Amino acid sequence: MANGRTEPLTVTRRIDASASDIFAILVDPRRHVDLDGSGMLREAVSDGVVSAVGDVFVMRMYYSELGDYEMNNHVVEYEPNRRLTWEPEAGRRHPDEHAPDARWGQRWGFDLAPDGPEATIVTQTYDCSALPENERVSMDGGRIWIEAMTRTLEHLDELVAGRRTSTNPA
């Protein structure tokens, strides 16, 4: 974080699966619990798959400082088999649920780049550059999420390879 600026953070992994197979998992919020490298996701409240910019999917979460709460995730980028990005907004039982700025501007996303017919370069991005400086500093510019993002891509790889069992079969 130089001069108060924060750059988006990325973690990349080559996964032996087609972009369409990977994307099918990413657009199904019920599968996010299986992918989660942070351990915070509990279950999807939303049933359907994400299919367009403007869709909102809701996840139940747990964080020791907040307890159980929900996040409303607004899809801001959607390109089939290539990109999915969302902005979280504080939902039910979150302390900021009724705050006027409950949608803080941070973004989570995945970019998929085919690498041959049956492999994909998957990049997960966390962008907290729109957050107030004190929030960015408290998260070390988002670097606190690097390990969880790395585990998320490991889980995705294991899931598409059949080495990880889904808790929410689609």
In a domain, 169, yes or no: no
Q: How confident is the model at residue 4 (pLDDT cuts 50, 70, 90)?
A: low
Mean pLDDT value across residues 38-65: 94
167 in a structural domain:
no
User: Does a structural domain hold residue 65?
Assistant: yes
Global confidence as pTM: 0.89
What is the tally of structural domains in the chain? 1
Asked if residue 118 is part of any domain, the answer here is: yes
Q: What is the pLDDT of residue 73?
A: 95
Which residues fall within 8 angstroms of residue 22, CB to CB, at 6 or more apart?
Answer: 15, 112, 120, 122, 156, 160
Domain membership flag for residue 4: no
Say whether pLDDT at 16 is over 80. yes
3-state secondary structure of 97: coil
Using the predicted structure, report yes or no on whether residue 108 has a pLDDT greater than 80: yes
How many C-alpha atoms does 16 have within 13 Å on its Cβ side?
Answer: 4
Within-domain flag for 44: yes
CATH label of the domain that carries residue 142: 3.30.530.20
What pLDDT was estimated at residue 2? 45
**Closest to 53 (Cα-Cα) out of 70, 75, 36:** 75
Average pLDDT rounded to a whole number, residues 94-117? 84
Question: 135: domain range?
Answer: 9-160
Measured between alpha carbons, how far is 86 from 59 in angstroms, rounded to an integer?
Answer: 12
